[in-house]
Structure 1
Amino acid sequence: MDATSNQPDKMASKTASSNSLDSSSKSSSLGSKHGAENGVLRDTPFAYLEGEEDQDQKNDVTYVCPYRGPVFGALTITNYRLYFRSLPLRDQEPPLVVDVPLGVIARVEKIGGATSRGENSYGIEIFCKDMRNLRFAHKQQNHSRRTVFEKLQANAFPLSYSGKLFAFAHAAAAQPTTSNANAAAVSAGCDGWAVYEPLAELRRLGVPNDMWRATKLNESYGICDSYPAVWAVPKAASDDFLRRVAQFRSRCRLPVLSWINPRTQATITRCSQPLVGVSGKRNADDETYLSYIMEANAQSDKLTIMDARPSANAIANKAKGGGYESEDAYKNVEINFLDIHNIHVMRESLRKVKEACYPTTDDSKWQTAIDSTLWLKHIRCVLAGAVRIVDKVETMSTSVVVHCSDGWDRTAQLTALSMLLLDPYYRTVRGFEVLIEKEWLSFGHKFQQRIGHGDNKHSDADRSPVFLQFIDSVWQVSHQFSNAFEFNEHFLITIVDHLYSCRFGTFLCNTEAERVAEDLKHKTTSLWTHINSSLDQYLNPLFPSFTHGAEPVLRPIASVRAVRLWKGLYCRWNPGLCAPQHGCQRTRELLSKQDQLFKHVNELRLKLTNRSNNMQTTTRLASPMH
């Protein structure tokens, strides 16, 4: 829902504010926990979350709305959100509401100075990670801008001011009052931290078996600090051998199992680039190890390496000590380059998407503007790469090794997306949560650096929308196969929203090792707990039962004609581009009506059968005796 659109009076209804970021809030009143100083209870215009506390309030602020113009109202800043609510000029006029979690904020800038004279020329501009910018005008004479700016800086970027992210305060405040609820959630299977258990997932895939084994060699994260504690590796490889192989891979990220085809034993393994360098160094252990992976699949005498990078980039990496596998050195191996560009290209592409979608658009140049961002081209490349992996594994029964440079960005996109296409389990809500936990979180995608949680280094070159591209790619597939996914679009948007919000611990830190050290499992709440406790709103009504009729393998069309801009996400703040989305609710209503009609038809058939039986009985009774 557009946070800048007209909304019903939140003060009166005391319900949670709009969009997925604000659901399941604790209370809509400052009573009891919030602001109950001296026994005075104050009404508030939104529902406070556990641990959410007021930081600043201003009653004379103007929101410079790009669609309705300047709107006068009150601004509240808490340790979790910025909340603006207009003061209606006429009776019955619904207020305009802007509700933004502070984690969404990328940077805050002052506009205007002491000599500024134009209307609304003095204030604050806020640049957000979710495609929108917000501008608030303040009165110069009361210096209200100073405290607002300071509170925003301190609470939106707590890590830059020796503070902690809101997720910790949220979980700490919830623990005393929700222990029973948490116990109920665990017993009901809703505990998000228990969604993914590595050994259980490996057992689901049929590992261990004759060719693959599980190992806790990295349990203390001493071999590779960005890899998970549990790996699945070829049975032929000893632990000492694995240690040697790791030394020849960037960041010690040696090839380990992501997925195995239970029918053919063809596998998807992931790693980082080999350290061949300009001189083309060879490593006998690494070459032998890849042969073990190939030999673990009796269906093929070939191994395919999918290098996510453009070939020119892979060659350039040799100058930095990296590179790619030589087909001369690695026997029975073929290498393919998938032409997916690096994090810097993707960051610039998304910036152009934002310029095209918000705040204003030129209809006559809309398609040209979107095409010039190259965003859809990049999405197509990710999709096409995943489809090629699926073709090798499913059609050719060939095992595939996937890597890019360090193996935590483009590699995760490709392994996760190809697994989603190959395995119907990952298209369920629970399976998709497992997929993210496994391929993104446990294998060290650097969420903290890529998103910039809680720090004010908005120009950091490490920031990039890599995970967002994956979610976009999933949406593209779900758009082509509307009944193949148990979850709906709202589920995907909720994940993206909380990628930024810092309300949950799921996407905090860079690696599994860091999350263990921070004890996030006990000190924060999982996003999956939040989602799994209210599943109905995230379910796709068109999805068949997982055990009845799920398509085993999906092969989406990866062409420019089929890939489209996800307006429901990128354009949701622009009312001129994104109309309210009620499709899922309407589908539910129609399916419910269909069920009612089927039930009515069955009742009529039963009545007709009973009537026919009664008539036959009456006829027999009335027949003359012979």
Structure 2
Amino acid sequence: MASASIPVYNRSNNPLENSSSQNASRESLKMEPLAVTLLPGEERVIDKDIMYICPFSGPVKGKVFITNYRLYFKSADADPSVTLNVPLGAIGRVEKMGGASSRGENSYGLDITCKDMRNLRFALKQEGHSRRDIFDILFRYAFPLSHGLLLFAYLSQEKYEENGWSVYKPMEEFRRQGLPTDKWRITFINDSYELCDTYPTILVVPFKATEEDLRKVSTFRSRGRIPVLSWIHRENQAVICRCSQPLVGMSGKRNKDDERYLDVIREANGTAKLTIYDARPSVNAVANKATGGGYEGDDTYQNAELVFLDIHNIHVMRESLKKLKDIVYPNVEESHWLSSLESTHWLEHIKLVLSGAIQVADKISGGNSVVVHCSDGWDRTAQLTSLAMLMLDSHYRTLRGFQVLLEKEWISFGHKFASRIGHGDKNHADQDRSPIFVQFIDCVWQMTKQFPTAFEFNERLLMTILDHLFSCRFGTFLYNCESARDTNEVRSKTVSLWSLVNSDSTSYLNPFYTPESSRVLYPVASMRHLELWVTYYIRWNPRIRQQQSPVEQRYMELLALRDEYLKKLEELQLTDSSPNSSHLSNSSAPNTASPTQHITHLHTPF
């Protein structure tokens, strides 16, 4: 069983201090007595006296404010004060609770299910249909696309010093990797999204493959997602290629162009076998034949080795996270904590994803090229390629490099963010919803725990990314693919999340970071070494707080002490260089040391 972090109870006198302060810092808001400072472009829609049924401290009277961006609640007379600050994009479902004839106190109101691991319940007076207006407004603004309205990202008027849309430039990233080479070329065949409407416009393909070859291969790959290069090893020239499943079908169809194309990929770095990692369990891959899909058989792809990684599909992951939410919100049952966590299988899925990425990274380090795919190549494939690249390439472990990795492997290569998250869509039961990207960020967090000095960014960055995955405040994660973003003018009409992050980059830096350019990270993907990310999944419970590492706490104290000493040193140097101090030093004894000579320099050893 995993060494899951056992929740620690916070015995603070202020039970909501932790969650409310996190909310405030995350949105950088200055709270007012009964209101909140609005973002540029944010407009208040309705205020209403209401009862919040707090799962931790019971019913709380207060006022709820709904804007075109958020739901904000502030208690009227509770001590300590209770506040809620929920972006409407994080709301997945709004339901009416009780009816006109309901009996019992606080039995009439609204039930709100959120996408960020919490639920909210509000009670209103039964007379006069008092919930009708707030229900209609909340339903309308939480699901704008279902009501012909714009997502808030298109209404926001925020301005930042940094332009986050300039973070990722495909040609610059390929040049950084050392591309093109004599074996790999850059093609613009998809410039108008004609080859594949879910791929980016700029692709890297084998030098020997002609444009006509690419068109022929696209007819035999699901959604036209042909094998293309994601990353190349500078020394041994082994590559990670990504694609979708071949369209083999029940009749076992073959495509000579596809077979030859994979052989050209193998020849590019001169290995005897090309390893194909199929993310699916083998039984699922076989079942996909019934719907026209399939996998690369040994008889037809003779110079390839096929490995199944046993990672389950989007439906299994959705149910797993749902089970996890059930055991962490609102209450954590400590007496059965480990068995309850095990029953969700969440960490087991994390283990399988990490284990698959380790196999990919290890094969590349050994000089062998790989092709990675699942069914359509936009869920498990993105998890595996991006995690393997994070292990292999230290650039992606920097603050800006990680942004490039997400822009490249997830956003430009068509992970279906709109379908998986359901931005602005009221259809909460949509079977396309799945926490694939949340699971990936969890895997990254697991790596940062195992290698605390290897990443330039900190946990706050990962949590900010997940918060704005749902919020619809930025355009970064909107829509399913690059072509849809172009059609909806995301870059010109919305702000990038990286504008926020890079305008305040020091807040997202890891103080322990030590650059090591050639180091390959191999995390331990065993259940004994994986932990539940308590800081994210259980952050809404005010009684539970992750204890800060004593080492980190001491390090921060030393940094503060160093800054204090440097400030004193600067003051003394200024005093020493002033005319008065010059006069004093001339009149003093010749052997008297200057003030700066008495300063003890503080070194912070690791």
Flag whether TM exceeds 0.5 (same fold).
yes
Separation in structure 2 between the aligned mates of residue 137 and residue 596 of structure 1, nearest angstrom: 50
Residues 34 and 63, structure 2, Cα contact 8 Å, conserved in 1? no
Separation in structure 2 between the aligned mates of residue 197 and residue 319 of structure 1, nearest angstrom: 40
Pairing of 1:413-492 with structure 2 (within 5 A): 413-492=383-462
Deviations 1:53-92 (A, max 9, x none): 1111012x11100110011111100000001100125xxx
1:51 and 2:41 aligned: yes
1:328 and 2:299 aligned: yes
Correspondence for 2:202:
230
Residues 92 and 428, structure 2, Cα contact 8 Å, conserved in 1? yes
What is the identity, as a one-letter code, of the residue corresponding to 2:16?
Answer: N
Q: Against the structure 1 CA distance between its residues 585 and 18, is the aligned structure 2 distance closer, same or farther, given a 3 Å change threshold? A: farther
What is the identity, as a one-letter code, of the residue corresponding to 1:470?
Answer: F
Correspondence for 2:381:
411
Point out the more displaced range, 439-448 or 362-371: 362-371
TM-score, with normalisation over the residues of structure 2? 0.88
Pairing of 1:173-572 with structure 2 (within 5 A): 173-174=157-158, 178=159, 182=160, 185=161, 190-298=162-270, 300-394=271-365, 396-544=366-514, 546=515, 549-550=516-517, 552-572=519-539
Residues 421 and 553, structure 1, Cα contact 8 Å, conserved in 2? yes
What is the identity, as a one-letter code, of the residue corresponding to 1:397?
Answer: G
Structure 1 residues without counterparts, runs of 5 or longer:
30-42, 604-613, 616-626
What is the identity, as a one-letter code, of the residue corresponding to 1:539?
Answer: L
Deviations 1:225-275 (A, max 9, x none): 000000000000011111111111000000000000000000000000001
Correspondence for 2:24:
18
By relative contact order (CA 8 Å, sep 6+), the higher-ranking structure is 2
Correspondence for 1:83:
72
Give 1:595 deviation, angstroms. Answer: 4.3
Residues 73 and 84, structure 1, Cα contact 8 Å, conserved in 2? yes
1:151 and 2:122 aligned: no
Q: Against the structure 1 CA distance between its residues 169 and 364, is the aligned structure 2 distance closer, same or farther, given a 3 Å change threshold? A: same
What is the identity, as a one-letter code, of the residue corresponding to 1:559?
Answer: S
Q: Against the structure 1 CA distance between its residues 19 and 598, is the aligned structure 2 distance closer, same or farther, given a 3 Å change threshold? A: closer
Q: Against the structure 1 CA distance between its residues 44 and 477, is the aligned structure 2 distance closer, same or farther, given a 3 Å change threshold? A: same
Separation in structure 2 between the aligned mates of residue 527 and residue 129 of structure 1, nearest angstrom: 19
Separation in structure 1 between the aligned mates of residue 258 and residue 402 of structure 2, nearest angstrom: 32
Separation in structure 1 between the aligned mates of residue 531 and residue 17 of structure 2, nearest angstrom: 29
Q: Against the structure 1 CA distance between its residues 486 and 591, is the aligned structure 2 distance closer, same or farther, given a 3 Å change threshold? A: farther
Separation in structure 1 between the aligned mates of residue 16 and residue 275 of structure 2, nearest angstrom: 54
Give 1:589 deviation, angstroms. Answer: 2.0
Give 1:18 deviation, angstroms. Answer: 1.7
Aligned length: 559
Separation in structure 1 between the aligned mates of residue 422 and residue 140 of structure 2, nearest angstrom: 15
Separation in structure 2 between the aligned mates of residue 5 and residue 536 of structure 1, nearest angstrom: 29
Deviations 1:280-330 (A, max 9, x none): 1111110111111111113x2221000000000001111111100012211
Residues 183 and 208, structure 2, Cα contact 8 Å, conserved in 1? yes
Q: Against the structure 1 CA distance between its residues 518 and 307, is the aligned structure 2 distance closer, same or farther, given a 3 Å change threshold? A: same
Separation in structure 2 between the aligned mates of residue 398 and residue 200 of structure 1, nearest angstrom: 25
Deviations 1:211-231 (A, max 9, x none): 001111101001100000000
Separation in structure 2 between the aligned mates of residue 582 and residue 561 of structure 1, nearest angstrom: 20
Instruction: Please provide the CA RMSD for this pair.
Output: 2.4
Residues 233 and 256, structure 1, Cα contact 8 Å, conserved in 2? yes
Deviations 1:22-81 (A, max 9, x none): 12x5x768xxxxxxxxxxxxx75212101111111012x111001100111111000000
Separation in structure 1 between the aligned mates of residue 485 and residue 194 of structure 2, nearest angstrom: 15
What is the identity, as a one-letter code, of the residue corresponding to 1:468?
Answer: V
Residues 17 and 542, structure 2, Cα contact 8 Å, conserved in 1? no
Residues 248 and 295, structure 2, Cα contact 8 Å, conserved in 1? yes
TM-score, with normalisation over the residues of structure 1? 0.86
**Percent of aligned positions with the same letter in both sequences?**
54
Give 1:495 deviation, angstroms. Answer: 0.2
Q: Against the structure 1 CA distance between its residues 258 and 591, is the aligned structure 2 distance closer, same or farther, given a 3 Å change threshold? A: farther
Separation in structure 1 between the aligned mates of residue 120 and residue 171 of structure 2, nearest angstrom: 46
Deviations 1:106-133 (A, max 9, x none): 0001111111121111100100000110
Deviations 1:473-521 (A, max 9, x none): 0000100000100001110000000000000000000000000111110
Q: Against the structure 1 CA distance between its residues 508 and 310, is the aligned structure 2 distance closer, same or farther, given a 3 Å change threshold? A: same
Residues 15 and 543, structure 2, Cα contact 8 Å, conserved in 1? no
Pairing of 1:87-98 with structure 2 (within 5 A): 87-89=76-78, 93-98=79-84
What is the identity, as a one-letter code, of the residue corresponding to 2:39?
Answer: L
Separation in structure 2 between the aligned mates of residue 259 and residue 551 of structure 1, nearest angstrom: 15
Correspondence for 2:92:
106
What secondary structure does 1:543 align onto? Answer: coil
Correspondence for 2:58:
69
Q: Against the structure 1 CA distance between its residues 78 and 599, is the aligned structure 2 distance closer, same or farther, given a 3 Å change threshold? A: closer
What is the identity, as a one-letter code, of the residue corresponding to 1:311?
Answer: S
Residues 380 and 558, structure 1, Cα contact 8 Å, conserved in 2? yes
Separation in structure 1 between the aligned mates of residue 329 and residue 556 of structure 2, nearest angstrom: 33
Q: Against the structure 1 CA distance between its residues 114 and 442, is the aligned structure 2 distance closer, same or farther, given a 3 Å change threshold? A: same
What secondary structure does 1:144 align onto? Answer: coil
What secondary structure does 2:116 align onto? Answer: coil
Give 1:563 deviation, angstroms. Answer: 1.1
Point out the more displaced range, 418-427 or 569-578: 569-578
